[in-house]
A and B are shown apart, each in its own frame.
Chain A
Amino acid sequence: MRNDLLAAKGLTFRYGERAVLSGVDLLVGEGEVAVLLGPNGAGKSTLLKIFSGLIRPHAGEATILDRSPSSYGRREMARILSVVGQDPPLDFPMSVEEYVMLGRFPHHGFFGQPTAADRREVDQALAMTSLSDLRSRGLGELSAGERQRTAVARAIAQGAKVMLLDEPTAFLDIYHRVMFFEIVTRLAKSCGVTALIASHDLALCAEYGERIILLAKGKVRAAGRPGEVLTPGNIREAFGVDAVCDRNPATGAVRVTPVRKKTGRDEGESALRDSGPAG
């Protein structure tokens, strides 16, 4: 087991003059389900984009298995690392199965026909995401939750060691969010996949994250086990809200509950603005 499957050292990235990441250090070990937690605009997506090779940092370096993302060939990289993001809506008819099969591209390439092995991987991915019954359904007929699961299934079919997930549950209701985290956790346990999940969902990250990296204003505020990171002080600093952090009586995991401001409504809003969230 390696402790530094994903590593970042002094990562700095700017959009024009605005620094989005400034000196971020990060380590994610093999088989870990790590959560990149932070408010909107903390730099989570930027960090994931650097790891997937979409953009390059202005300073510092990111490595996957000790190599920089740009040193990999496109398909070689896709066999190691897959990404679940917010795909733009698709205006073309496509079945769930066809869509998930697209994840096999890094393996069969431009010219190869899908093999029995490819089909097996797709079947497995569909089964893991409970989509087997919907395989011939059109993507356009799916609910938001099912749609998000197809994206995960495609990433699973890609067969990569590392999976980056960018706000994967942003538009889902609580049932589908829980289901989603269950799938990812199972994947990490049964297939040894390492997952780095960018999210601002305090409650679920506390429940499912093995390790939490708290990002605020482009810097790592804290990193470690949920109990160490999720403290009222850290949360106030990163998110700008007061919270109670106690234990969930059912699972023993940290439980974060936001606390309503005691002042009047108008005052409360201005107070929120003053100490507004990072980024």
Chain B
Amino acid sequence: MRNRAIVFLLLASSFAGAVVLSLSVGPLPVTLGQVFRILSGGSADGAGETAMRVVLTLRLPRALLGALVGGALSSSGVAFQALLRNPLADPYILGVSGGAAVGAMTARLLLPGDSFLSLPLCAFLGAALAASVVFVLARRRSGVSRERLILMGVIVGAFLNALIMMMVALAPPGRIPGAVYWLMGDLSLGTLGRVGLLAPYVAAGVVILFLLSRGMDLLLLGDEAAFQSGLPVERVKTVVYLTASLLAGSVVAFSGLIGFVGLIVPHGARSIVGSGHRRLLPAAFLLGGTFLILADVLARTAGPSGELPVGAVTALSGAPFFLYLLRRNGGKP
């Protein structure tokens, strides 16, 4: 019991540490002391007014967006892994990414003018549509089987990828770069307004998943065993699927496709707190937020030629870590 409390204390403090670090690091010099003064609502005394505005309107929303996105992707990954009983599942496995990408490209290509707002909306609609199509296609009278879900996810994903290629081929030049950068994962669009818009979705999704954590524990046993242990399996699977897709879709809409977070963070969290979802979900949320905030700090500051796509940073740091996990566990993730 005490151990558990210490583990969560450590997770929470590394999360807080990542936030503070991301507030103090950037092209404009701001000291830790200034960050704390600014955060405690003090006047910009010592910190220039620009520093204060930079911290509050650029870095803080970005850190919060990173926390929400990282946490939501990790929670969604945990849910998909339980749903598919496959530790290699991630939030994008069932077509959410392809749907979001097609939505975003459509916004870039077809809707003139201010795509700053229409892009997230179209991406979300695309993700939701793709997820629903996969679900409906995978559904049989007897319920939704994991094999059919994965099969339909692969087919729908391949179809959407083909659509993306068509759009890239047919698009006028100049329209594409924005969408491509967005596809590589991008937290630079973070504003307090957007964070406020995204937060309710993430909160709702995470809370629903948390309430279903016992159900997800049982899903790990397989459908028949879960059913015989008293779980309304089909209902739980449906809710978990829709919730995890909503989480991934709404996050994708604001940050583009950030890979690997939803795959590796659940593994990291599991190795710390085990597979019980009651503890796994909060741990994965904290760890995912910490990881993405740190990755974004790297993306903002490490590149010699300006900002790097944060999705590339997560994949670059995530893939070797995942290999390490695989090796350590003798080939089993």
Contact = CB atoms under 8 A, between A and B. Distances in A.
A contacts B directly (C-beta below 8 A) = yes
Interface of A: 52-54, 74-75, 77-79, 81-83, 85, 87-88, 90-95, 98, 102-103, 105-106, 109-111, 140, 154, 158
B217 to A, nearest CB: 6
Nearest to A109: B214
Contact of B85 (A91, A110, A154, A158): A91
B231 interface: yes
A74 B220 contact: no
Interface in B68-105: 81, 85-87
Given A52-B228, A92-B270, 18 more contacts: A74-B227, A75-B230, A81-B228, A83-B228, A85-B228, A90-B220, A92-B87, A93-B274, A94-B275, A94-B276, A95-B274, A98-B274, A98-B275, A98-B276, A102-B221, A110-B214, A110-B215, A111-B214
- The contact size tier of chain B is 20 to 34
B46 interface: no
Nearest to A94: B275
B31 interface: no
Most buried by A among B86, B224, B333: B224
Contacts of A75: 230
Contacts of B215: 110
Nearest to A111: B211
B270 A102 contact: no
B222 A88 contact: yes
A54 B227 contact: yes
Contact of A91 (B87, B212, B218, B276): B87
A53 B223 CA distance: 13
Nearest to B222: A88
Contacts of A140: 332
Contacts of B204: none
A78 B228 contact: yes
B216 to A, nearest CB: 10
A141 to B, nearest CB: 12
B178 interface: no
B272 to A, nearest CB: 11
Nearest to B88: A91
B326 interface: no
Contacts of B333: 91
Most buried by B among A53, A74, A109, A154: A74
Contact of A87 (B212, B214, B221): B221
A74 B232 contact: yes
Given A91-B332, A93-B270, A109-B214, A78 B230 contact: yes
Interface in B225-246: 225, 227-232
Contacts of A110: 211-212, 214-215
Contacts, number: 78
B231 A105 contact: yes
A84 to B, nearest CB: 9
A85 B224 contact: yes
Contact of B231 (A74, A87, A88, A94): A74
B206 to A, nearest CB: 16
B146 to A, nearest CB: 10
A178 to B, nearest CB: 25
B57 interface: no
B218 to A, nearest CB: 6
B230 A87 contact: no
A87 B229 contact: no
Nearest to B214: A110
Interface in B39-76: none
B82 to A, nearest CB: 8
Sorted nearest first, the 5 A-B pairs with minimum C-beta distance are A78-B230, A106-B230, A83-B228, A75-B230, A92-B275
Nearest to A79: B230
B301 interface: no
A135 B222 CA distance: 22
Contacts of A78: 228-230
Contacts of B221: 87, 90, 102
Contacts of A111: 211, 214
A252 B276 CA distance: 48
Contacts of A92: 81, 87, 220, 270, 275
B271 interface: yes
B213 to A, nearest CB: 8
A74 B218 contact: no
Nearest to B333: A91
B54 to A, nearest CB: 43
Contacts of A158: 229-230
A52 B214 CA distance: 21
Nearest to B211: A110
Contact of A74 (B225, B230, B276): B230
A141 B246 CA distance: 36
Nearest to B235: A74
20 contacts: A52-B227, A74-B230, A82-B229, A83-B228, A88-B85, A91-B86, A91-B332, A92-B87, A92-B270, A93-B271, A94-B220, A98-B275, A98-B276, A105-B214, A105-B230, A106-B230, A110-B214, A111-B211, A158-B229, A158-B230
A105 to B, nearest CB: 5
A131 to B, nearest CB: 17
Contact of B224 (A54, A74, A81, A103): A54
A87 B225 contact: yes
A103 B230 CA distance: 9
Contacts of B225: 83, 85, 87
A57 to B, nearest CB: 15
A90 B215 CA distance: 16
